[in-house]
Amino acid sequence: MAGSFLDGLALALSWQALLALVAGSLIGVVVGVLPGLGSALGLVMVLPVTFGMPPEAAMAMLVSVYASSIYGGSVSAILINVPGTPQSAATTLDGYPMAQRGDAALALGYATVASVVGGMFSLVLLVVTAPQLARLSLRFGPIEIFALLLFAMTTIAWVSKGSMLKGVIASLIGIFLGLVGSDEMTGMVRFDFGILQLSGGFAMVPLLIGMFALAEVLMQAATMQSARAPSVIAGGFRLAPWPEWRRRWQTFLRSSVIGSFIGILPGAGATAAAYIAYADARRRSPRKDDFGRGEPDGVIASETANNAVSGGAMVPMLALGIPGDGVTAIMLGALTIHGIIPGIYLFRDQGDLVNSIFVLFCFANLLILVVGAAGASLYSKLLRAPMSLLMPTVVLLSFVGAWATRASPFDLLVATLAGVAGYALRLCGFPLSPIVIGFILGRPLEFSLRQGLVLVDQNILGFVQSPIAAVLLALTAALTLQSVISVLREARRSGSDRPERHVD
């Protein structure tokens, strides 16, 4: 155990890993600070860069981009009242009023420390629970894996942003896209329509790049008001005196717990965690009325919780190979590209690598403090950079990234089409994360279903004979039923609303 930890520490302290960690932190903060970019896009952009790296350096870069991009979102939330990432939306409520009254540096200080505290708390949870959960997965055969994946996908679709129905449809689209290409069990090629490049299926990176990066460029193009940069309040970095921190420790603790546990749940995500922690802090605070007017507890609650989600979300991803949201789905895809297959075998056979991930996650969180303090004065300048100059950078990086996968012009075409599709889907209110999660989980879902059917002699009722699978399938059925009822209820309500609206 100690030997494995030391091996992990040695891996994490390699010069490639440390260099990647620092570079990832800087990139992460930049994509977090700039509204419209965000964690998913940041990860997608750096993914091709990691192709030539050893696994620990690749993980260092991905983990640091993930952790620091969530923090970066708070900077723009505080300085321009626009969250750089959706996870920091709740930070605007008190962060921007603090900046307006001249306390921008103090608000950034609170946000930075809160981000580090939340991340470190969730790291403890990750270290403690992930190996246990992975051990539990030893009891999982194909039937249980199928039930678990189905349950995870249903939950993700259920809680996804906007319409639940659209979330489910998005998941199914993702699953179908993942099924294109050769069938793992028989080697037969499906849905290739005679296109040679499709016989190996869609490559993940061009698809992700199109869906997240190019779709964002189109979104910005369609809604951009002018090439002018927003008005920015000057930043800075200042830490509050010690007594201020001491009297707020409960907010730190409660928000860390909320964020970490919400992170473990599939689909809930950091945005929900931040709002829940914010509401909880407000409810319990003796200064309730100050919330929304620049109360530091509001910034602390939001930023602690959204960063705490990162470690929580990595628990099911590392232990079971189930991503909780779009960002961890990209992380999972990146892991598999580097030959790292999450689950019990990862913990058993590559303990040193798992430990290096834990150590790197710890370093990534601590680096937030350094990057946050050192770069605070630069962020205002960064926020003044016009979108019309930043988006072309994203386009170039996207195509270079799409090319890097297989050096094929076909992938440039896939990225472009995925960009258009991603934009159209976003415009129609379809969430993109379930598509990515479906794409990644589609094949394991099919594989476990078919293996399970062979085990139970094609008798589908055999699936409920396993207690674990029975519980998971019952939960899935309950969620689905609840969804159907709410859709019907919604339809009836809108039907009865319709004449009134017409009269109006």
Which residues inside 38-77 make contact with another protein, applying CB under 8 A? 48-49, 51-53
Tell me the number of residues near another protein by CB under 8 A.
75
Does 254 bind another protein (CB under 8 A)? Our answer is: no
Smallest distance, another protein to C-beta of residue 85, A:
16
Please name the amino acid found at residue 248: R
Please name the amino acid found at residue 167: G
Smallest distance, another protein to C-beta of residue 37, A:
15
End-to-end CA distance of the chain: 70
Does 384 bind another protein (CB under 8 A)? Our answer is: no
Smallest distance, another protein to C-beta of residue 432, A:
11
The token duo for 67 is: 């952790």
Residue 1 or 222 with smaller CB distance to another protein: 222
Please identify, among the stretches 90-98, 210-218, 256-264, 267-275, the one whose residues bind another protein according to the rule CB under 8 A: 210-218
- The contact pattern for another protein, residues 226-245, with x = CB under 8 A and - = no contact, is xx------------------
Residues with Cβ within 8 Å of residue 160, at least 6 apart in sequence: 166, 167, 170, 267, 431, 433, 434
Q: How far apart are CA 411 and CA 439, in angstroms?
A: 16
Please identify, among the stretches 94-102, 222-230, 254-262, 365-373, the one whose residues bind another protein according to the rule CB under 8 A: 222-230
Rounded to 10 degrees, what is the CA torsion of 45, 49, 53, 57?
Answer: -40
Region 412-471 residues binding another protein, contact defined as CB under 8 A: 412-413, 415-416, 419-420, 426-429, 442, 445-446, 449-450, 453-454, 458
Please identify, among the stretches 97-105, 255-263, 470-478, 492-500, the one whose residues bind another protein according to the rule CB under 8 A: 492-500
| Host H or E run for residue 189 | strand 189-190
Q: How far apart are CA 155 and CA 480, in angstroms?
A: 9
**In 10 A of CB 187, how many CB atoms?**
7
Q: How far apart are CA 82 and CA 275, in angstroms?
A: 16
The secondary structure of 288-318 as a DSSP string is GGGTTSS-HHHHHHHHHHHHHHHHHHHHHHH
Report angle CA 158, 445, 39 to the nearest 5 degrees. 55
Q: How far apart are CA 401 and CA 378, in angstroms?
A: 27
Return the residue of 102, 200, 392, 467 that touches another protein, per CB under 8 A.
Answer: 392
Smallest distance, another protein to C-beta of residue 372, A:
25
Region 159-188 residues binding another protein, contact defined as CB under 8 A: 161-163, 165-166, 168-169, 172-173, 175-176, 179, 183, 185-188
- The contact pattern for another protein, residues 109-148, with x = CB under 8 A and - = no contact, is ----------------------------------------
Smallest distance, another protein to C-beta of residue 381, A:
14
Return the residue of 399, 439, 463, 472 that touches another protein, per CB under 8 A.
Answer: 399
Smallest distance, another protein to C-beta of residue 366, A:
25
Smallest distance, another protein to C-beta of residue 343, A:
21
Residue 150 or 357 with smaller CB distance to another protein: 150
Does 18 bind another protein (CB under 8 A)? Our answer is: no
Does 218 bind another protein (CB under 8 A)? Our answer is: yes
3-state secondary structure of 370: helix
Smallest distance, another protein to C-beta of residue 125, A:
31
Return the residue of 214, 276, 346, 382 that touches another protein, per CB under 8 A.
Answer: 214
Q: How far apart are CA 154 and CA 229, in angstroms?
A: 41
Does 496 bind another protein (CB under 8 A)? Our answer is: no
Q: How far apart are CA 277 and CA 406, in angstroms?
A: 43
The secondary structure of 322-364 as a DSSP string is --SSHHHHHHHHHHHHTT---SHHHHHH-HHHHHHHHHHHHHH
Please identify, among the stretches 26-34, 65-73, 353-361, 389-397, the one whose residues bind another protein according to the rule CB under 8 A: 389-397
**Do 89 and 83 contact (CB within 8 A), yes or no?**
yes
Smallest distance, another protein to C-beta of residue 246, A:
42
Return the residue of 1, 2, 407, 503 that touches another protein, per CB under 8 A.
Answer: 407
Beta strand 181-182 with 189-190 is antiparallel
Instruction: Of 144, 139, 196, 43, give the one whose Cα is nearest residue 444.
Output: 144
Q: How far apart are CA 257 and CA 247, in angstroms?
A: 18
Smallest distance, another protein to C-beta of residue 69, A:
20
